[in-house]
Amino acid sequence: MRSYALLTPDLKQLYMGFYKATYGKSKIDLKTKEFIAIAAALTSGCKGCLEGHLKKAKREGATSDEIAEVIAITLGVNAATIVDRSDIANYHLGGLFERPEGS
């Protein structure tokens, strides 16, 4: 599979320009940017992105322990998202379900 195969050259150039700009000089160091990208790739389900950003994080000096922490934080935020969505849905249904026993 070839990445960007279905983009016109103009669209690919726009995308690549934007992508490169996000990795330009900023207040966030490259390793931290890779941690953010790993979390984004995990939540968006982009396998190619995840693999690429894991490799880049390793090149920037990321350790296995740091990657595990990034994954744990991403997992925690996504678990909270499920709780939040279910609370909101129940609220909009007029409190259709009560709190489970023991909570």
Q: What is the pTM of this model?
A: 0.83
Domain limits, the chain: 25-92
Residues 6 or more apart in contact with residue 71 via CB below 8 angstroms: 38, 42
Q: According to the model, what pLDDT value does residue 1 have? A: 66
Work out the percent of the chain whose per-residue pLDDT is above 90.
Answer: 83
Averaged pLDDT score across all residues of the chain:
94
Distance CA 67, CA 74 (A): 11
Burial (0-12, 13-18, 19+ Cβ within 10 Å), 57: buried
pLDDT tens digits, 84-94: 999 999 999 99
Quote the CATH superfamily of domain 25-92: AhpD-like (1.20.1290.10)
